[in-house]
A and B are shown apart, each in its own frame.
Chain A
Amino acid sequence: MLFEIFLVVFLGILAGLFTGLMPGIHINFVALLLLTSSAFLLQYFSVVALVCFIISMSISHSFFDFIPSIFLSAPNDETALSILPGHKLLMKGNGYAAVRLALIGCYLGLLLLIILVPISLISLPVIYGPAKKYMFFILILASLFLILSDRKKFLAFFIFGLSGILGLATLSLPMKQPLFPLLTGLFGTSMLFITIQQKVRLPKQKISELGIEKKETTKILGASVIASFFCSFLPGLGASQAAVLGSDMGGKISRRGFLVLLGSISTLVTALNFVAIYAISKPRSGTAIVVSKLLETFSLKYLIMFSLIMIIVGGISFVLALLIAKIFAKNIEKINYSKTSLFILLFLILMSVIFSGWLGLIVLVTATALGILCQIKGIRKMHLMGCIMLPVILYYL
Chain B
Amino acid sequence: MSLEKVSLIISFVGIILLLFLSQNLEPKLVKISEINDKMTDSYVKIKGNLTEIRSLEGMQILNINDGTESISAVIYTKANLTKGAELEIQGKVVRYRSSLEIEAQKIKEI
Contacts and interface: CB of A to CB of B under 8 A. Distances in A.
A176 B21 CA distance: 15
B19 A35 contact: no
A376 to B, nearest CB: 5
A37 to B, nearest CB: 9
A16 B11 CA distance: 34
Interface string B32-72: 00000100111100000000000000000000000000000
Given A36-B95, A362-B14, A173 B7 contact: no
A35 B26 CA distance: 27
Given A35-B95, A369-B7, A373-B11, A173 B21 contact: yes
A168 B105 CA distance: 13
A258 B23 CA distance: 41
A173 B22 contact: yes
B19 A176 contact: no
B14 A376 contact: no
B27 interface: yes
Contact of A363 (B18, B23, B97): B18
Nearest to B14: A366
Contacts of A169: 15, 18-19, 21-22
Contact of A370 (B6, B11, B21): B11
Contacts of A176: 41-43
A372 B3 CA distance: 8
A32 B13 CA distance: 33
Q: Contact size class for B?
A: 20 to 34
Identify which of B7, B8, B105 gathers the most chain A CB atoms within 10 Å of its CB.
Answer: B7
A177 B8 contact: no
Nearest to B22: A172
B4 A359 contact: no
Contact of A174 (B40, B90, B95): B90
Contact of B10 (A165, A174, A175, A365): A365
B15 A36 contact: no
Contacts of B18: 166, 169-170, 173, 362-363, 366
A390 B98 CA distance: 33
Nearest to B42: A176
Contact of A293 (B6, B11, B17, B97): B97
Interface in A316-373: 359, 362-363, 365-367, 369-370, 372-373
A36 B37 contact: yes
A165 B12 CA distance: 10
Nearest to B38: A36
A175 B3 contact: no
A377 interface: yes
B4 A373 contact: yes
B110 interface: no
Interface in A28-77: 32, 35-36, 39
A162 B41 contact: no
Nearest to B9: A369
A297 interface: no
Nearest to A171: B22
B25 interface: yes
Given A170-B22, A174-B26, 12 more contacts: A36-B37, A162-B15, A172-B23, A173-B22, A174-B27, A176-B41, A359-B21, A363-B14, A366-B11, A366-B14, A366-B17, A372-B3
5 contacts: A166-B15, A170-B18, A362-B14, A365-B14, A369-B7
